[in-house]
Amino acid sequence: MTTWLAALRRMQQSTTPAVLVTVAQIQGSTPRESGARMLYTADAQFDTIGGGHLEWRAAQIARAMLQDDPARLDGQRRLERIALGPSLGQCCGGVVFLCFER
């Protein structure tokens, strides 16, 4: 698997639009620690923030950001609070705050 950092370098060199997803904060039981990162492009994912439904939701948000007009400043960064148990049905049941940066 290609790490997010190596992929980010390649995306910058090829000017491929991408969204960096960072686990900004956690509360309770979560699949990964704060600081975990992954990178999304329109058709690829690099690295992991814990798999499962959390990554599926992160992919939805990141790819929607990639479809937005890149000139919109409010479409460049986003912070999402995701309750793993209630909203995603994941067994760990904690809360993850994800930072999305285009």
Beta-strand relationship, 77-83 and 95-101: antiparallel
- Find where tokens 């600081």 sit: 35
φ/ψ of 13, rounded to 5, equals: -65, -35
pLDDT at 88: 54
Residue pair 102/40 in contact (Cβ under 8 Å)? The answer is: no
pTM of the model: 0.88
Contacts of 36 (CB under 8 A, 6+ apart): 22, 23, 48, 49, 50
For residue 77, pLDDT beyond 70? yes
The domain in which residue 38 lies consists of 4-101
Number of domains, the chain:
1
- Find where tokens 């058709």 sit: 43
pLDDT tens-digit readout, 23-71: 999 999 888 999 999 999 999 999 999 878 899 999 999 999 999 877 7
